[in-house]
């Protein structure tokens, strides 16, 4: 695989980053994952805008313009011909700041920019999209700026492991009695024809797939209610599903051991997945 590191396209074995890099030492880095289907980038503009916002919130330099980022994404697709479906991972850290220090380094320290392809062939036919997935709930113990897409993913990893140990697919975070989001996705329920999802705030990541989905749903005259919901509401819902750049729209059929409705993917989730895949193609 050919990867991008600080201006160079090199084989992955040669891509090395300093042990002093703040991404490594402090988790001081932001990231994006942009879907690629059939060699085509999806929702690129949304990801670039969110990246700029994450960098800005952390007072980090934005080292690359939209055009440069687009060029790098396209170049990685071109240089890795075996990569057809999956995602492009992008990470920008505050760079190599020398010895460990809590304070940010001077502004002339260059950010470390890494991009690489992550193939997931057969992504569109993922059997989980047909069968739906099962989730458990866990307390949301993350920090309170979940709107910034940082690489501080230890708690979401623990949540994912708790789900694995419980023989289910994912974990939903719960705070003050309400679901915030999934370990790496935004979540929704459907009740009496209404799509219910938590409104944007610092409590959740502002999903790019979420924005696209809500746009398509309202174009299709579906009713959207942006409000928090509980685990009990999800268990009593007609449907549940989640969205992310790596799994698009995926039905959720069980929450904390209870089936959602019939325990099969519902028509709204199935239809929205179809619309999303058609519109983005
Ligand atoms: N995760 N919420 C969280 C906590 C996420 O990590 C993600 C994305 C989303 C969905 O955002 P989007 O639709 O822009 O992908 C919501 C990525 C895919 C990841 O960490 O791999």
Over residues 193-248, the pLDDT tens digits come to: 999 999 999 999 999 999 999 999 999 999 999 999 999 999 999 999 999 999 99
Q: Is 207 in the pocket of ligand 1 (CB under 6 A)?
A: yes
Per the listing, tokens 């746009």 go with 215
Are residue 10 and residue 94 in the same domain, yes or no?
Answer: yes
Mean pLDDT of 78-91: 96
- The pLDDT, as a whole number, for residue 109 is 96
Contact 180, 186 (CB under 8 A): no
* Residue located nearest, by CA, to atom 20 of ligand 1: 184
Q: How far apart are CA 195 and CA 191, in angstroms?
A: 7
Segments forming the whole domain that contains residue 228: 127-280
Are residue 12 and residue 92 in the same domain, yes or no?
Answer: yes
The burial class, CB within 10 Å (0-12 / 13-18 / 19+), for 4 is: buried
Residue 49 has pLDDT above 80, yes or no: yes
Output the CA torsion sign for 233, 270, 38, 63: negative
Are residue 92 and residue 27 in the same domain, yes or no?
Answer: yes
- Crossing angle of the two packed helices 44-57 and 208-219, in degrees rounded to 10: 130
Q: How far apart are CA 32 and CA 48, in angstroms?
A: 8
Structure tokens at 201: 């705030």
**Distance between Cα 86 and ligand 1 center (Å):** 14
Are residue 68 and residue 150 in the same domain, yes or no?
Answer: no
pLDDT tens-digit map of 61-72: 999 999 999 999
Q: Is 185 in the pocket of ligand 1 (CB under 6 A)?
A: yes
Are residue 131 and residue 119 in the same domain, yes or no?
Answer: no
pLDDT range class, residue 279, cuts 50, 70, 90? confident
Question: The domain that contains 138 carries what CATH number?
Answer: 3.20.10.10
Domain end position, chosen among 87, 105, 123 = 123
Are residue 105 and residue 151 in the same domain, yes or no?
Answer: no
Q: How far apart are CA 197 and CA 189, in angstroms?
A: 7
The burial class, CB within 10 Å (0-12 / 13-18 / 19+), for 136 is: buried
What percent of the chain clears pLDDT 90, i.e. is strictly above it?
A: 95
**Distance between Cα 210 and ligand 1 center (Å):** 10
- Crossing angle of the two packed helices 208-219 and 267-280, in degrees rounded to 10: 100
Q: Is 208 in the pocket of ligand 1 (CB under 6 A)?
A: yes
pLDDT tens-digit map of 37-47: 999 999 999 99
Q: How many domains does the chain have?
A: 2
Question: The domain that contains 49 carries what CATH number?
Answer: 3.30.470.10
Domain end position, chosen among 72, 97, 123 = 123
Are residue 148 and residue 26 in the same domain, yes or no?
Answer: no
Domain end position, chosen among 98, 123, 148 = 123
Are residue 119 and residue 7 in the same domain, yes or no?
Answer: yes
Read off φ and ψ for residue 154, nearest 5 degrees: -65, -45
pLDDT tens-digit map of 124-164: 889 999 999 999 999 999 999 999 999 999 999 999 999 99
Among the listed residues 209, 162, 168, the one whose alpha carbon sits nearest the alpha carbon of residue 188: 209
pLDDT tens-digit map of 17-38: 999 999 999 999 999 999 999 9
Q: Is 160 in the pocket of ligand 1 (CB under 6 A)?
A: no
Per the listing, tokens 């993913």 go with 153
Per the listing, tokens 């313009």 go with 65
- The pLDDT, as a whole number, for residue 281 is 66
- The pLDDT, as a whole number, for residue 50 is 98
Are residue 166 and residue 276 in the same domain, yes or no?
Answer: yes
- Per residue, the 3-state secondary structure of 13-51, as one string, reads HHCCCCCCEHHHHHCCEEEEEEEEECCEECCHHHHHHHH
Q: Is position 149 annotated as part of the catalytic site?
A: yes
- The pLDDT, as a whole number, for residue 271 is 96
Helix (H, G, I), strand (E, B) or coil at 92: strand
Are residue 95 and residue 138 in the same domain, yes or no?
Answer: no
Are residue 273 and residue 141 in the same domain, yes or no?
Answer: yes
Read off φ and ψ for residue 91, nearest 5 degrees: -135, 135
**Distance between Cα 245 and ligand 1 center (Å):** 7
- Ligand 1, closest atom to CA 209? 13
Are residue 137 and residue 119 in the same domain, yes or no?
Answer: no
- The pLDDT, as a whole number, for residue 260 is 98
How confident is the prediction for the chain on average, in pLDDT?
Answer: 96
């Amino acid at each position: 695989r050919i990867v991008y590191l600080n201006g160079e396209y090199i084989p992955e074995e040669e891509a090395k980053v300093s042990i002093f890099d703040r991404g490594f030492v402090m988790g001081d880095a932001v990231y994006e994952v942009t879907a690629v289907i059939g060699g085509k980038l999806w929702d690129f503009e949304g990801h670039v805008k969110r990246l700029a916002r994450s960098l800005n919130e952390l007072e980090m330099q934005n080292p690359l313009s939209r055009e440069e980022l687009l060029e790098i994404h396209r170049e990685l697709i071109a240089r890795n011909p075996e990569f057809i479906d999956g995602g492009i991972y992008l990470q920008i850290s505050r760079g190599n700041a020398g010895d460990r220090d809590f304070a940010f380094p001077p502004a002339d320290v260059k950010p470390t920019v890494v991009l690489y392809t992550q193939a997931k062939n057969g992504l569109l036919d993922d059997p989980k999209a047909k069968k739906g997935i099962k989730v458990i709930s866990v307390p949301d113990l993350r920090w309170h700026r979940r709107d910034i897409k940082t690489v501080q993913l230890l708690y979401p990893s623990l949540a994912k492991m708790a789900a694995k140990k419980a023989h289910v697919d994912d974990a939903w975070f719960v705070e003050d009695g309400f679901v915030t989001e999934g370990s790496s996705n935004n979540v929704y329920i459907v009740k009496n024809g209404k799509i219910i999802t938590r409104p944007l705030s610092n409590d959740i990541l502002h999903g790019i797939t979420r924005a696209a989905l809500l746009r398509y749903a309202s174009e299709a005259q579906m009713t959207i209610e942006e409000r928090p919901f509980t685990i009990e509401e999800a268990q009593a819902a007609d449907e549940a599903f989640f969205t992310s750049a790596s799994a698009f729209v995926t039905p959720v059929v069980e929450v904390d051991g209870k089936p959602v409705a019939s325990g099969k993917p519902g028509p709204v989730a199935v239809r929205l997945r179809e619309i999303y895949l058609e519109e983005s193609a």
